[in-house]
A = this chain, B = another copy of it.
């Protein structure tokens, strides 16, 4: 069985690449730090006889041979990129738990029927390049190779350029290889398991999410002599939008509605200038697709109302929509059996965050395993999961993969 201490050591070693002031990590997708993290993983995997292939959007496929290499592999994996002030577990745990599965099998001289594959997906976070999960999306046929490589960061660098600079632009056509099944271990990134004192989440699907880029255009003017009634204040308009949608989401006592404004920028800001233009991002989520439609309609109405109330022009572009996902019943059951075998409390649950498994599930039977994280906090340097929970998650992953790889 899994060596929890070894898994923890590899997590802590990875966290030393791109460390942040308060104990987190910063490895933005395809940055020098992200590339260094990938090189460390590859070194570890090659030391135990695995081989690497890289596809044209930079996804890494690390293979452990099986008895029957003509069969499609059973795969696991996640991502190594982080948020600007990210944690040490989000994505990384899923990758390094896959490494730990390989190391455990290696130590015990076990060769599975099917080959195994550890996958590192490019740019999962969506922080440097939007949308999130773009390279697993390309793998699953949701985004074309061209679209994926043309994603642009704030400095105007394309994903393709960053990929070339990182040394991870591969040759394998996007979409290869076919996977027999896919399991992804991840921290929950929310508070449910911890609150309910459960050790494993058997993930049955993922809530739907939609991303928007919004621009509000008013009129810059002097803060002093411009009467309140004359103003066309783009920031006051943005504040109204945020406050209204925040109240709307809070009013949903089911807790299903989620609204987040992560970025907001004023054009040419100055203390004594009424903001003339504001750009902001909107993230809408819901576990029920029809409710997500209703939420988007509400957002559209609140946005439209700003024109009359504040004299601003509004523009909104939906840059990404990921529908509600339901995972494969067989894979869910395999995870549930593995969790039950550990004798720990677990629950079936939906994921609030998007994961590469969302897109992979379109082309391979898929499910996920969650472990609790402290205070439900993630996308934060303080993100933490205990060594025991990490080891338990890796053990459930090993067992579910073995079941699938030997049948």
A interface, CB within 8 angstroms of B: 83-85, 125-127, 130, 132, 188-192, 207, 209, 211, 219-230, 233, 235-236, 238-243, 246, 249-250, 252, 255, 257-264, 266, 268-276, 281, 283, 285, 351-354, 376-380
List chain B residues, Cβ under 8 A from A271.
126-127, 130, 211, 260, 262-263, 281, 283
- Protomer copies: 2
Q: Which residue of B lies closest to A212 (CB)?
A: B271
Q: Which residue of B lies closest to A236 (CB)?
A: B246
Q: A235-B264, A239-B238, A243-B240 are in contact. Are A190 and B269 (CB under 8 A)?
A: no
List chain B residues, Cβ under 8 A from A283.
223-224, 271-272
List chain B residues, Cβ under 8 A from A239.
238-243, 246, 261
List chain B residues, Cβ under 8 A from A250.
228-229
Q: How distant is A221 from chain B, measured CB to nearest CB, in Å?
A: 5
Q: How far is the CA of A239 from the CA of B268 in the complex (A)?
A: 19
List chain B residues, Cβ under 8 A from A255.
227-229
Q: Are A227 and B127 in contact, CB atoms less than 8 angstroms apart? A: no
29 residue pairs from A and B, CB less than 8 Å apart = A83-B268, A84-B270, A125-B270, A125-B272, A132-B272, A189-B224, A189-B225, A190-B225, A191-B230, A192-B225, A221-B376, A221-B379, A222-B378, A223-B283, A224-B285, A224-B352, A225-B351, A225-B376, A228-B249, A228-B252, A236-B243, A239-B240, A240-B243, A262-B270, A264-B269, A271-B283, A272-B283, A272-B353, A273-B380
Q: How distant is A36 from chain B, measured CB to nearest CB, in Å?
A: 21
Most buried by B among A241, A252, A268: A268
The 8 closest A-B pairs by CB, nearest first: A225-B352, A190-B225, A223-B260, A239-B242, A224-B353, A224-B352, A239-B239, A263-B269
Q: How far is the CA of A252 from the CA of B229 in the complex (A)?
A: 10
Q: Are A352 and B83 in contact, CB atoms less than 8 angstroms apart? A: no
Q: Which residue of B lies closest to A270 (CB)?
A: B127
Q: Are A275 and B246 in contact, CB atoms less than 8 angstroms apart? A: no
Q: Are A379 and B273 in contact, CB atoms less than 8 angstroms apart? A: yes
